[in-house]
């Protein structure tokens, strides 16, 4: 078994890491403090083209394998979690269905600009009454002639209030659960489509998250993103593992950022005459964190590798997401402890990671859902 990243993957990670260090890291604290979308940084970073990494070269992307994608997600999140959420929305969820099912026109109008950051993308699942329970989706899409009319309200949409287009999960057969679910493309400027309330979050600040309102929004037939009606969940299933592994990669990014801060602090902070890194309890914390981050990384990369190999990895992806998240929550907690009272001060980074890490609990699937899923998979049908 060769566990190494290839030289090419290592080089890719290095270049992205340097870009993040130069462009994102210096602004991360300000982005958090101001809680404003960093337009200039968005333009500067996305103009480099990395947002298109999943898509083919002839579209301007690089056809990156999933392991390489994980490296990207990890590095950008390490820089700023809020900014990363917006970036990854454009790179993965917000554009995938357009790439997979959109017409040439749709690709030209929406996908290609989104790959360069010229348009902001998003995907809408969550509603007031449904988060994990997608079958209870109440947003409807009704056929009217050769168009679809969409009605409903979506919540907790990353990039929602500032998006140029959205992939919307709506039911064409209310009451029939999964079978009615489909994805539709809705573009800014379509009458009836408007941003609603913005949610002020405890973490992942800088990215704009909020409501999207669909009031008799009329879209043409080609905006149905799918080959057949009713296959929405099947199509989602094609990238669900990747989304879960991606969330795990984000967790590693946050863990690393926090861990590096904690390690630096342990080396320089002096108490009782010595740097605290000389004391056993601090060393123990460092050792445990390093071990668990290492384990998270191996799990996430393994899940990604299985996707690349075309192997089923529903279990591995769920495990990787859960494990990396739980590790991250522990790491951000421990690092604030290593900082002592300074871990409570807004001037220092650990409190930011502590707040940012919470989103991992619901992004990509809550752990309650994931454990139930895994439990059922492993125990089997009884």
Binding residues vs another protein (CB under 8 A): 7-8, 11-12, 15-16, 18-19, 22-23, 47-50, 52-53, 57, 60-62, 265, 268-270
Which of residues 54 and 205 has its CB atom nearest to another protein in the complex?
A: 54
Q: What is the distance between the alpha carbons of residues 232 and 224, in angstroms, rounded to a whole number?
A: 10
Which of residues 112 and 149 has its CB atom nearest to another protein in the complex?
A: 112
Which of residues 115 and 258 has its CB atom nearest to another protein in the complex?
A: 115
What minimum distance in Å lies between the beta carbon of 342 and another protein? Answer: 9
What minimum distance in Å lies between the beta carbon of 221 and another protein? Answer: 33
What minimum distance in Å lies between the beta carbon of 61 and another protein? Answer: 7
Which of residues 19 and 295 has its CB atom nearest to another protein in the complex?
A: 19
Please report the sign of the dihedral spanned by the C-alpha atoms of residue 84, residue 123, residue 359, residue 197: positive
Which of residues 23 and 369 has its CB atom nearest to another protein in the complex?
A: 23
What minimum distance in Å lies between the beta carbon of 54 and another protein? Answer: 11
Q: Which residue has the tokens 């899923």?
A: 373
What minimum distance in Å lies between the beta carbon of 156 and another protein? Answer: 30
Burial of 199 (0-12, 13-18, 19+ CB in 10 A): middle
- The tokens of 5 are what? 């990243």
Which of residues 276 and 357 has its CB atom nearest to another protein in the complex?
A: 276
Q: What is the distance between the alpha carbons of residues 131 and 135, in angstroms, rounded to a whole number?
A: 10
What minimum distance in Å lies between the beta carbon of 315 and another protein? Answer: 31
Which of residues 115 and 181 has its CB atom nearest to another protein in the complex?
A: 115
Q: What are phi and psi of 137, to 5 degrees?
A: -55, 130
* Among the listed residues 52, 162, 156, the one whose alpha carbon sits nearest the alpha carbon of residue 98: 52
What minimum distance in Å lies between the beta carbon of 380 and another protein? Answer: 43
Which of residues 50 and 156 has its CB atom nearest to another protein in the complex?
A: 50
Which of residues 60 and 131 has its CB atom nearest to another protein in the complex?
A: 60
What minimum distance in Å lies between the beta carbon of 81 and another protein? Answer: 21
Which of residues 62 and 213 has its CB atom nearest to another protein in the complex?
A: 62
What minimum distance in Å lies between the beta carbon of 87 and another protein? Answer: 13
Distances (CA, A) of 381 to 135, 314, 368, 375, 378: 22, 17, 19, 11, 9
Q: What is the distance between the alpha carbons of residues 147 and 56, in angstroms, rounded to a whole number?
A: 30
What minimum distance in Å lies between the beta carbon of 347 and another protein? Answer: 10
Q: What is the distance between the alpha carbons of residues 206 and 299, in angstroms, rounded to a whole number?
A: 29
- The tokens of 186 are what? 């809705």
């Amino acid at each position: 078994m060769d566990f190494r990243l290839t030289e090419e993957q290592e080089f890719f990670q290095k270049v992205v890491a340097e870009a993040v260090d130069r462009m994102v890291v210096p602004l991360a604290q300000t982005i958090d403090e101001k809680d404003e979308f960093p337009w200039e940084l968005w333009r500067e970073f996305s103009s480099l083209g990395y947002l298109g990494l999943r898509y083919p070269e002839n579209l301007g992307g690089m056809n990156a394998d999933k392991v390489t994608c994980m490296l990207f997600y990890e590095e950008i999140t390490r820089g700023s979690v809020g900014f990363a959420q917006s970036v990854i929305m454009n790179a993965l969820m917000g554009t995938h269905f357009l790439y997979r099912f959109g017409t040439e026109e749709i690709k030209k109008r929406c996908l290609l600009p989104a790959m360069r950051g010229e348009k902001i993308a998003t995907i809408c699942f969550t509603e007031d009454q449904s988060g994990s329970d997608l079958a209870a989706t109440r947003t409807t899409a009704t056929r009217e002639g050769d168009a679809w009319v969409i009605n409903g309200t979506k919540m907790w949409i990353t990039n929602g209030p500032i998006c140029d287009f959205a992939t919307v999960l709506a039911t064409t057969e209310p009451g029939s659960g999964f079978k009615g679910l489909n994805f539709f493309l809705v573009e800014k400027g379509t009458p009836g489509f408007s941003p609603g309330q913005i949610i002020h979050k405890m973490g992942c600040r800088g990215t704009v998250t909020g409501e999207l309102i669909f009031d008799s929004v009329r879209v043409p037939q080609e905006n149905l993103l799918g080959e057949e009606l009713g296959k929405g969940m099947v199509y989602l299933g094609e990238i669900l593992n990747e989304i879960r592994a991606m969330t795990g990669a984000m967790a590693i990014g946050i863990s690393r950022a926090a861990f590096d801060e904690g390690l630096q602090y342990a080396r320089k902070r002096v108490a009782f005459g010595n740097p605290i890194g000389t004391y056993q309890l601090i060393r123990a914390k460092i050792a445990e964190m390093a071990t668990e981050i290492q384990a998270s990384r191996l799990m996430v990369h393994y899940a990604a590798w299985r996707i690349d190999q075309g192997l089923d990895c529903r279990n591995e992806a769920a495990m990787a997401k859960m494990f990396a998240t739980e590790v991250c929550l522990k790491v951000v907690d421990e690092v604030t402890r290593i900082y002592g009272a300074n871990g409570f001060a807004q001037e220092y980074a650990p409190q930011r990671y502590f707040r940012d890490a919470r989103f991992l609990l619901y992004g990509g699937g809550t752990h309650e859902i994931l454990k139930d899923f895994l439990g059922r998979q492993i125990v089997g049908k009884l």
